[in-house]
């Protein structure tokens, strides 16, 4: 059976060029901090990759810190900021990835959830009012967590507008850009974010490597200590092969960005077929990632959708891969006002750098038939 992979938001297939870059780096000798020739070669490879990241997202000089994953990046960003700036409050949007709220809760700062409007967007007016109250109450140093794009709906947040409000009240903005980098243009400087995180495996890079981007001279306390790696900001022997692969993926990201309109067209074809078959689509009224579709279908649970299509050779998700297997409503859709049934019958279709018309056609062929069977049994 031909397989059709429509779960890029969980992890994208690794590019062949990235595999080659990782394998080549693994064949090299030398620790990137060693001063002999082998070490200098390894160090150059790491710094070349850092430069590719800087070029892709307009990161500041010395602002890229390599980590082991998106989740570690989130942990480092929140704990590093909390410790360095004495944060008293962390505000977390209601649609953030679960790793953001979970790691915020383990800092010494109080955590407050910020609601979103129906499309899943942060309410900028309410944000300004809440921060005005925070200032009036002399609430102390604070940080706001607002993702670039949602992992379930693909909705892109007004990060720059939120940053302007946050900075008006002398706060910091952390932006989880894991789903955006390599899929849509991301400009760290223009976004206004003080700290940003992402990971390589969402756009064709390898698993096990991510990055934190910090503004010029922004203090961040290291979470991992013991060595001088990453400019004394993150101790641990440098993952040279993974970083080489991430750098190569960043260098190739322009190819994916150039396909954005084509990928959006495939997404829209899938969306139209699902709506015609009776599905409800979430986030369609907002600006979205080109390859992300979030739908729900009454009587057709997300887990059943996933299993049914898997048997037909199609890989989709019943939510974020980090929470798949848990039979509970989507917190993102719940925050958007969905009922429990709607939030439980959520499925996510996500295309990416190597998605094809054949992939879209497979979903268009199989999903409506599967839902028709579900509705026929319930009649």
Smallest CA-to-CA distance from 168 within 137, 199, 144 is with 144
Torsion angle of the four alpha carbons 221, 227, 229, 230, in this order, in degrees rounded to the nearest 10: 0
Q: What's the token pair of residue 277?
A: 């078959």
Q: What's the 3-state SS for the chain? A: CCCEECECCCCCCCCHHHHHHHHHHHCCCCCCCCCCHHHHHHHHHHHHHHHHHHHHHCCCCCCEEEECCHHHHHHHHHHHHHHHHCCCEEEEECCCCHHHHHHHHCCCCEEEEECECCCCCECHHHHHHHHHHHHHCCCCCEEEECCCECCCCCEECCHHHHHHHHHHCCCEEEEECCCCCCCCCCCHHHHCCCEEEEEHHHCCCCCCCEEEEECCCCCCCCCCCCCCHHHHCCCCCCCHHHHHHHHHHHHHHHHHHHCHHHHHHHHHHHHHHHHHCCCEEECCCCCECCCEEEEECCCCCHHHHHHHHHHCCEECECCCCCCCCCCCCCHHHHHCCCCHHHHHCEEEEECCCCCCHHHHHHHHHHHHHHHHHHHHHHC
Q: Are 104 and 51 in contact (CB under 8 A)?
A: no
Strand order of the β-sheet with 210-214 is: 64-67, 210-214, 195-199, 172-176, 142-145, 89-93, 110-114
Could you confirm whether 322 is annotated as catalytic? yes
- Catalytic pick among 145, 175, 250, 322: 322
Half-sphere exposure of 25 (CA within 13 A, CB side): 27
Give the residue numbers annotated as catalytic, written as ranges.
Answer: 322
């Amino acid at each position: 059976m031909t397989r059709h992979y429509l779960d890029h938001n969980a992890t994208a297939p690794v590019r062949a060029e990235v595999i080659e870059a990782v394998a080549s780096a693994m064949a090299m000798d030398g620790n990137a901090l060693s001063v002999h020739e082998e070490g200098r070669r390894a160090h150059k490879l790491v710094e070349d990759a850092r430069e590719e990241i800087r070029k892709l997202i307009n990161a500041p000089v010395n602002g890229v810190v390599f980590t082991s994953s998106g989740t570690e990046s989130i942990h480092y960003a929140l704990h590093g900021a909390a410790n360095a700036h004495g944060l008293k409050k962390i505000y977390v949007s209601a649609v953030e990835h679960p790793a953001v709220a979970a790691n915020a809760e383990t800092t010494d700062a109080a955590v407050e959830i910020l609601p979103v409007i129906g499309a899943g967007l942060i309410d900028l007016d309410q944000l300004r009012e809440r921060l005005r109250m925070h200032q009036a109450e002399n609430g102390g140093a604070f940080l706001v967590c607002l993702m670039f794009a949602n992992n379930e709906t693909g909705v892109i947040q007004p990060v720059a507008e939120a940053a302007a409000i946050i900075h008006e009240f002398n706060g910091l903005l952390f932006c989880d850009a894991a789903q955006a980098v390599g899929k849509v243009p991301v400009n760290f400087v223009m976004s206004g974010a003080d700290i940003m995180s992402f990971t390589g495996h969402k756009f064709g890079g390898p698993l096990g490597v991510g990055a934190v981007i910090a503004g010029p001279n922004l203090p961040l306390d290291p979470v991992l200590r013991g060595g001088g790696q990453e400019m004394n900001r993150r101790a641990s022997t440098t993952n040279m092969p993974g970083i080489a692969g991430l750098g190569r993926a960043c260098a190739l990201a322009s190819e994916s960005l150039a396909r954005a309109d084509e990928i959006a067209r495939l997404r829209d074809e899938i969306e139209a077929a699902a709506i015609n078959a009776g599905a409800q689509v979430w986030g369609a009224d907002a600006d979205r990632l080109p390859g992300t579709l979030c739908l729900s279908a009454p009587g057709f649970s997300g887990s059943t959708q996933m299993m049914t299509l898997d048997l037909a050779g199609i890989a989709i998700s019943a939510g974020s891969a980090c929470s798949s297997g848990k039979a509970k409503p989507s917190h993102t859709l719940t925050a958007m006002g969905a009922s429990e049934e709607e939030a439980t019958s959520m499925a996510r279709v996500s295309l990416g750098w190597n998605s094809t018309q054949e992939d879209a056609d497979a979903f268009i062929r199989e999903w409506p038939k599967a839902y028709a069977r579900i509705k026929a049994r319930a009649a």
